[in-house]
A = this chain, B = another copy of it.
Amino acid sequence: MTEANKDAVDAITDQWHAVRPDLDTVPMAVFGRINRIARAVSDEMERTYNRYGVSLGEFDVVATLRRSGAPYTLSPRQLSATLMLTSGGMTGRLDKLEKAGLLCRNPDPNDRRGLQVTITERGLKLIDEAVAAGLEVQRAALSGLAGEEVEALSGLLRKLMAGVG
């Protein structure tokens, strides 16, 4: 690691090393970079989806319905479980998306407590454009890595996630 290649996370670990040389700074460097990458790419995705009139969180709702396949119908409960969101948070997202005409809520014919959430024609059209735009942001973020590097990274992340999930 030459002086010139140091980044913002190196600056932090260097500072820690100077005041607490007893600490192993490798773990904080790994997760510091993971956090910064996650944040930077999410911010970029947010801006991208905003151009389609939805937030990243709202996109996730429509995307979950889209990838569930025809007839693009799930209950609010299934959605909030998948998106790791409370029912209160889900209600808010569904309210906005329904008002925007991207999905609709209908009573569940088999359980009068429940609802069925379905993508509208307009929602389907929007998600199929927006998902491609989002993927392009992610592809661009990975463009500095060679194919085999992406492969290696993917494998290491899978292994790491297995240990924290």
Binding site for B on A (CB under 8 A): 7-9, 12, 15-16, 18-20, 23-24, 26-31, 33-38, 40-42, 44, 66-69, 128, 131-132, 134-135, 138-139, 141-145, 149-150, 152-154, 156-165
Contacts and interface: CB of A to CB of B under 8 A. Distances in A.
**Main secondary structure on A side of the interface with B:** helix
A41 B31 contact: yes
Contacts of A134: 28
B15 A67 contact: yes
Nearest to A40: B164
Contacts of A149: 156, 159
A36 B165 contact: yes
A109 B157 CA distance: 49
Nearest to A8: B165
5 contacts: A7-B162, A26-B154, A34-B37, A36-B165, A37-B157
Contacts of A8: 165
Given A20-B131, A35-B42, A132-B23, A30 B160 contact: no
Contacts of A19: 66-67, 69
A156 B156 contact: yes
7 tightest A-B CB contacts, nearest first: A144-B163, A27-B138, A33-B157, A15-B67, A38-B38, A153-B156, A40-B164
A139 B15 contact: no
Contacts of A20: 67, 128, 131
